[in-house]
Amino acid sequence: MALSTDDKIKIATALDDLGVHVIEAGSAVTSAGERAAIKAVAGLGLNAEICSYCRMRTDDIDLALECDVDSVHLVVPSSNLHIETKLKKDIFDQKDREDVLQMAGSVAEYAKSHGLIVEFSAEDASRADFKFLKDLYASGVAHGADRLCYCDTVGMLTPEKTFNIFSELAFSAGAPVSVHCHNDFGLAVANTVAAFRAGAAEGHLTINGIGERSGNAALEEVIVQLEHLYGADTGIKTENLYQVSRLVSKLTNIPVSPNKALIGGNSFTHEAGIHVHDLVKNTASYEPISPEFVGRTRRVVLGKHAGASSIELALTELKLDANDVQKQEIFKRVKEMGDKGLRVTDADLQTIAESVLEIHCEPTVKLKSFSAVSGRPSIPMASVILEVNGKEEVCVDTGDGPVDAAIRAIQRAVSSVGDIGLEEYHVDAITGGTDALVEVTVKMSKDGKVVTARGARTDIIEASVEAVINGMNRLV
Ligand SMILES: CC(=O)SCCNC(=O)CCNC(=O)[C@H](O)C(C)(C)COP(=O)(O)OP(=O)(O)OC[C@H]1O[C@@H](n2cnc3c(N)ncnc32)[C@H](O)[C@@H]1OP(=O)(O)O
Ligand SMILES: CC(C)C(=O)C(=O)O
pLDDT averaged over every residue in the chain: 95
**CATH code of 383's domain:** 3.30.160.270
Residues 244 and 278 in one domain: no
Tens-digit pLDDT profile for residues 321-366: 999 999 999 999 999 998 888 878 888 998 899 899 988 888 999 9
Q: For ligand 1, what atom is nearest to the CA of residue 86?
A: 45
Ligand 2 contact, 466 CB (< 6 A): no
Residues 166 and 45 in one domain: yes
Ligand 2 contact, 182 CB (< 6 A): yes
- Cα separation of 64 and 112, whole Å? 12
Q: Any idea which ligand is nearest the CA of 27? A: 1
Distances (CA, A) of 303 to 117, 310, 344, 348, 440: 55, 10, 5, 11, 17
Residue 317 lies in a domain: yes
Residue 135 lies in a domain: yes
Ligand 2 mutation pick, 147, 151, 204, 205, max ligand atoms within 8 A of CB: 151
For residue 179, name the pLDDT band (cuts at 50, 70, 90): very high
Residues 217 and 348 in one domain: no
Three-class DSSP category at 214? coil
Cα 131 from chain centre: 38
Q: Write the single-letter amino acid at 326.
A: Q
pLDDT of residue 435: 75
Residues 308 and 369 in one domain: no
Residues 227 and 329 in one domain: no
Residue 257 lies in a domain: no
Residues 187 and 311 in one domain: no
Q: What pairing do the DSSP bridges indicate for beta strands 269-270 and 202-204? A: unpaired
Q: Write the single-letter amino acid at 434.
A: T
Ligand 2 contact, 75 CB (< 6 A): yes
- Last residue of a domain, which of 252, 287, 314? 252
What whole-number percentage of the chain has pLDDT above 90?
Answer: 86
Residues 78 and 221 in one domain: yes
Report which of 445, 448, 447 is spatially closest to residue 474, judged by C-alpha positions. 445
User: 100-109, 222-231, 245-254, 426-435: which has the minimum mean pLDDT?
Assistant: 426-435
DSSP codes, 32-53:
HHHHHHHHHHHTT--SSEEEEE
Number of domains in the chain: 3
pTM of the model: 0.87
Residue 263 lies in a domain: no
Tens-digit pLDDT profile for residues 21-64: 999 999 999 999 999 999 999 999 999 999 999 999 999 999 99
ipTM summary value: 0.95
Q: Which residue has the higher pLDDT, 337 or 149?
A: 149
Residues 411 and 316 in one domain: no
Report which of 244, 246, 257, 349 is spatially closest to residue 303, judged by C-alpha positions. 349
Residues touching ligand 1 (Cβ under 6 Å) are: 27, 29-30, 53, 55-57, 75-77, 86, 123, 212
Residues 410 and 332 in one domain: no
Residue 224 lies in a domain: yes
Residues 136 and 11 in one domain: yes
**CATH code of 329's domain:** 1.10.238
Residues 240 and 284 in one domain: no
pLDDT of residue 21: 98
Residues 75 and 222 in one domain: yes
Q: Which residue has the higher pLDDT, 430 or 413?
A: 413
Residue 260 lies in a domain: no
Q: What is the mean pLDDT of residues 264-272?
A: 94
Tens-digit pLDDT profile for residues 270-329: 999 999 999 999 999 999 999 999 999 998 999 899 999 999 999 998 889 999 999 999
User: 115-129, 229-243, 456-470: which has the minimum mean pLDDT?
Assistant: 456-470
For residue 260, name the pLDDT band (cuts at 50, 70, 90): very high
- Last residue of a domain, which of 252, 283, 318? 252
- Last residue of a domain, which of 196, 217, 252? 252
- Cα separation of 54 and 78, whole Å? 15
Give the domain range for residue 449: 365-475
